[in-house]
Amino acid sequence: MRRSLPAALLVVVGLVLLLDFVLVNPTLGALTDGLLELIVLLAAAAALAGAVALVLRHWTDLVERRRDPLGSLVLLGGLGIMLLAGFYPGSSGASDPAVRWLVAALLAPLVAALFAMLFVFLLVAARRGLAIRTRQAVVMLAAALLVVILLLPIGGGTGAWLAGVASWAMDVPIGAVFRGLLIGVAVVTAVHAARVLLGIEATDD
């Protein structure tokens, strides 16, 4: 009973939100607006609880010198600096100049470095894919090479034509693939979540 009640509540809320996308009804719209506000509050509470749990875990690792104490120290120090910049007396929060400077001087370069490493990882994955000699790897690399060629900074009429083709490729075939992937992931996630909530095992199929 304890397990079925939250599951039934989640299913009802999900169906109400889905129904709001199908039907145009002011009463149903007001109900879904209230549910969405409640969901946002619950998500904020979950995020806050996760942050507190993260801080406690890394603080314990730092005090007891377990796992990676240096990484825990860097994480806690960065978190403390960001909180201090956002909550000191007179701060304007996320729009405060100190917070913007920290984001521009620290977080943005870190993100750029991660994306630069991603390019290297993609090259390694491409080399391994070619070594395996699978058809999927060849198709993926050919499509990536085609997109790179279309996005080359070439001037004149040829460059304008390549830019138009690249824009069409990004909007139509590549966009269709991404939308299909998102829809497929959403459907599989919803089905798996429903199976977990309703207690349906794989052996029950």
- What are 58-92's pLDDT values in tens digits? 999 888 888 888 889 988 998 888 888 888 888 88
Cβ within 8 Å of residue 2, ≥6 positions away: none
- What are 132-168's pLDDT values in tens digits? 777 888 887 887 788 778 777 777 788 788 888 888 8
Q: Are 7 and 197 in contact (CB under 8 A)?
A: yes
> What is the chain's Cα-based Rg?
25
DSSP states along 181-192: HHHHHHHHHHHH
Cβ neighbours around 78 below 10 Å, total: 14
The predicted model scores a pTM of 0.57
- Alpha carbon distance 193, 205 (integer Å): 16
- What are 94-111's pLDDT values in tens digits? 788 888 898 888 888 888
User: Which 8-state DSSP code applies to residue 93?
Assistant: G
Q: Are 52 and 44 in contact (CB under 8 A)?
A: no
